[in-house]
Amino acid sequence: MTSDSSISRRALLASALPLAASAHASEGQTLTIAAFPLVDEIVRAAIPAWQKRHPEVELRILSRQYSDHHTAMTTALSTAVALPDVMALESSFVGRFAQGGGLEDLRQAPYGVERFRERLVPFAYDQAIARNGAVVAMPADIGPGTLIYRHDILAKAGVQEAELTGKWEDYVAAGARIKARTGAYLIAHVQEIKDIIIRGGLNAGEGLYFDTQSRVLVNSPRFERAFEIALLARRQGLDARVSAWSNDWAEGFKRGRLATELSGAWVVGQLNSFIAPSTSGLWRAAPLPENGAAAYGGAFYAMPRRAAPERKALAWEFMQLMTLDPRLQLQAFKDYDAFPALLSTHEDPFFDQPLPFLGGQRARQLWREAARRITALPVHKQNQFAEEVVQTELDKVLLRDKPIRAALADAEQLLQRRALR
């Protein structure tokens, strides 16, 4: 299930799924779980395991579309009205919600979440740590970043995988050969390139856009290079200029017009299931260029601090079931491509099985290794706004020929004013 902008790709897909909710309990206790599509299905699949533990406690699943869910949770936390017992959160929202103080600190008694830290993928656990040290959520699944490419298109262009995974400049040069020899675009949109590059070369205490002291980081060599590579690819006509999860994006995959994609490992399952199943066997997975390590989404479970105290023990037990039970974690991976955050599952033989969609490649081994190299990034309360500012300036560079240094200087100035609020 992601980088904040990249994370939203799976969220957009999930938001297209139908709204659903389980029936209210007719008697006995009811534990309310608020979730968004895909996560709600994983919770629903876990009901039999929960009923074995607590047949007297009904799980009530409140499912809203992705954006509606997180908006509703924001309102519920700020007003303490209609709070669920447990809320699912997409990874990009965990840091934002953590700063508000509305989520239970799971370090405190009787929870003691820190005893589970070594059992979970390090970066996923770290994502849920607030600035004051509070641990506000438990990770269930993650989205290790990967590059996928059309093996047949590369063969036709005479391009090798190593040319895609080396320097970013080599990736772009390979894209130019692919376009010239096959007509296929290298990528859907150069924004994807920018999103990966800005996540590389970070120093301790640095987030994407701000450091831990709220200093703005966008007017830097890291962002300058990201803009330069994106502009280089655009000037050579290597991106299709289509947004992820749009109809044109899906058609690009179906018709072989997109040679590569930079995304979370879960995108393979989405392509295989319904986006472009006819292309099965034609794809391969590879590391991100320059051996980059990035996360694309993930789901967490959190407990509102002002939720009903009489059900908090049950809520905590449910959260542990969903995040620490190897059988449920593996089942969610097999059924919903929810890459598990529970480390013990990573040794299961399922990770060694070939993927027919990827021509028999054992790609889960690649993604497992990538997951262990990802590091959590400090989340600033203005990250979402910063992302919009940076993307607006990139658009000005791409579409209006604005000088890159001027664009980043303007972004820095605007963000400096906002960071002081």
> What confidence category does residue 421 fall into, taking pLDDT thresholds of 50, 70 and 90?
low
Examine the domain organization and report whether 282 and 335 are in the same domain.
Answer: no
Res. 20: pLDDT tops 90: no
State whether 77 and 214 are in the same domain: no
The DSSP H or E segment spanning 125 is: helix 122-127
pLDDT at 56 over 50: yes
Residue 402 CA, distance from chain mean position: 30
Q: What is the pTM assigned to this prediction?
A: 0.87
> CATH number, domain at 317?
3.40.190.10
**Number of Cβ atoms within 10 Å of the Cβ of 214:** 15
Q: Is residue 178 in a domain? A: yes
In the prediction, which pLDDT does 97 show? 86
Segment 193-209 shows an average pLDDT of 87
Same-domain status, 289 and 151: yes
Query: Is 153 in the same domain as 223?
Result: yes
DSSP 31: E
What's the average model confidence in pLDDT over 168-197?
97
Residue 260 and residue 239: Cα distance in Å, rounded? 10
Q: Would residue 272 count as lying in a domain?
A: yes
pLDDT at 14: 41
What average pLDDT score do residues 283-310 get?
A: 94
196, two tokens: 């990966």
Q: Are 179 and 235 in contact (CB under 8 A)?
A: no
137 — alpha (psi -120 to 50), left (phi > 0) or beta? beta
291 and 149 housed in the same domain: yes
Domain count, the chain: 2
C-alpha 165/C-alpha 167 separation (Å) is 7
In a shared domain, residues 130 and 152: no
pLDDT band at 206 (very low <50, low <70, confident <90, very high): confident
163 and 233 assigned to the same domain: yes
Mark whether 281 and 154 lie in a shared domain.
yes
Average pLDDT over residues 352-365: 97
Q: Render pLDDT for 374-392 as a digit per residue (tens, 0 to 9).
A: 988 877 778 889 999 999 9
Q: In terms of domains, do 242 and 192 share one? A: yes
Q: What pLDDT does 420 receive?
A: 63
User: Tell me, what's the pLDDT at 382?
Assistant: 85
- Cα-flanking dihedrals φ and ψ of residue 288, to 5°? -65, 155
Whether 174 shows a pLDDT value over 90: the answer reads yes
The answer to whether residues 117 and 38 belong to one domain is yes
Q: Per the domain annotation, does 389 fall within a domain? A: no
Q: Whole-angstrom Cα distance, residue 180 to residue 177? A: 5
Q: Report pLDDT for 7.
A: 39
For tokens 């690009």, name the residue: 252
pLDDT for 201 equals 78
Residue 405 lies in a domain: no
Same domain? For 125 and 86 the reply is: yes
Its domain, for residue 274, covers 145-295+367-373
Percent of the residues in the chain that have a pLDDT greater than 70, as a whole number: 93
Residue 14 and residue 118 share a domain: yes
**399 in a structural domain:** no
Assigned domain for 121 exists: yes
pLDDT digits (tens, 9 = 90+) for 122-148: 999 998 998 888 999 999 999 999 999
User: Is residue 122 in some structural domain?
Assistant: yes
Average pLDDT over every residue of 240-248: 93
Residue 359 lies in a domain: no
Collapsing DSSP to helix, strand or coil, 140 comes out as strand
Task: Give 153's pLDDT tier (boundaries 50, 70, 90).
Answer: very high
